[in-house]
Amino acid sequence: MSARVISIANSKGGVGKTTTCVSLAEAFAASGMRTLVIDLDTQANASLLIFGNNGDEHLFEAINDYMTISDWLLENFFAGEQRRLGEFIITDASDVTFKGKSLPLDLIPSSPRLRKTERELIFELTAKGYAMEALQNQVGKRLRDDLNLLKAQYDVILFDCPPGISVMTETVLAASHLIIVPTIPDFMSTLGLDLFTGDIMKNLRNRDIETLPVVLATRYDGSSHQQVVLGAMREASNAAETEFAMFKTVIPMKPGFASNPIELGPEPTLQAKWSGEALQIIEQLLAEVREKVA
């Protein structure tokens, strides 16, 4: 069976996007599914969270070895090389253990230089007379082709997308079986939700795709304000002309979702990394996700 592709995206940072991506990826891997994370965010937080203890050293090594998503762009669109996405995979990247064994989770890490590479690519190709649409088509076609090759190797592929929409993000969203939009149910975080999900749907419909983004309420503290906002979000998701659906699962504001990999030490168990109620809630979310991509 071809891999299910899941993208985690939002125009706003600090909403739990990376935590959602990594927790789901580790839960998928623990359930025996061949799992790959591709980090498209220049902050590389998903890469660091997966690498875990000494994550900065592992990321530095990947950057020095030219094994990041930024290097894939450089090799294919600047150096004139034809290198497939699969050549940049770091196997068994997670330091987490489950049932006494290392968690089988693969990673294509990001790099702080990714944003610069994307800007230089846009400048380079537009200087040669390419329109933005042609640029998107060129990068998008190569990314789609490489992603199709990877689908045969994995059961699930997760993308941690950067805030906003980029050339690569548009292609990834169009290729996704599920788009998860983590959102804090408060006034500030939901201001751009309709606009962001509307933009996603516009781009998808231009490609004759009708995949509704699914909003995940995160960092929920149970305050009266958040209760009201969450209720309004659920009501909007049930409207006839809605641009998004919603998960039943709500991610609470709890310490278990914010563990520091350095404090955990080397080779933490899955239960230690997602402590307290966190792992149980992640498993609830995993069940919903699996149902949606089945």
Other CB atoms within a 10 A radius of the CB of residue 79 amount to 11
Residue-wise DSSP of the chain: -PPEEEEE--SSSSSSHHHHHHHHHHHHHHTT--EEEEE--TT-HHHHHHH-TTHHHHHHHHHHTT-SHHHHHHHHHTS-----GGGG-BTT----EETTEE--EEEE---TTHHHHHHHHHHHHHHTT--HHHHHHHHHHHHHHHHHHHHTT-SEEEEEPPSS--HHHHHHHHH-SEEEEEE-SSHHHHTTHHHHHHHHHHHHHTTT-----EEEEEEE---HHHHHHHHHHHHHHTSTT-S-EEEEEEEE--GGGS--HHHH-SS-BHHHHTTTTHHHHHHHHHHHHHHHH-
The yes-or-no verdict on residue 284 having pLDDT over 80 is yes
Q: What is the mean pLDDT of residues 258-283?
A: 83
Instruction: Give me the pLDDT at residue 1, please.
Output: 64
Strand-pair category, 35-39 with 97-98: unpaired
Residues 6 or more apart in contact with residue 20 via CB below 8 angstroms: 8, 180, 182, 216, 218, 251
Look up the pTM and report it.
0.93
pLDDT at 25 over 80: yes
Q: What was the pLDDT predicted at 78?
A: 83
What is the set of domains in the chain, with CATH numbers?
4-293 (3.40.50.300)
Whose structure tokens read 């606009």? 195
Q: What is the per-residue pLDDT across 164-190, written as a single tens digit (0 to 9) for each?
A: 777 788 889 888 999 999 999 998 877
pLDDT at 164: 74
Let me know if 242 is exposed, middle or buried by CB neighbors in 10 A (0-12, 13-18, 19+): middle
**pLDDT (tens digit per residue) in 29-84:** 999 999 999 999 999 999 999 999 889 999 999 999 999 999 999 999 887 788 99
Give the tens place of pLDDT for each residue, 116-150: 888 888 887 778 777 777 777 888 889 999 999 99
The dihedrals phi and psi of 83, each to the nearest 5 degrees, come to -110, 125
Q: Give yes or no for a contact between 13 and 163, defined as CB atoms under 8 angstroms apart.
A: yes
Tens of pLDDT along 207-258? 777 788 999 999 999 999 999 999 999 999 999 888 899 999 999 997 777 6
pLDDT of 99 strictly over 70 = yes
Considering the chain, what percentage of its residues have pLDDT values greater than 70?
98
What pLDDT, on the 0 to 100 scale, is given for residue 7?
A: 96
Nearest to 258 by CA among 45, 25, 12: 45
pLDDT, residue 37, reads: 99
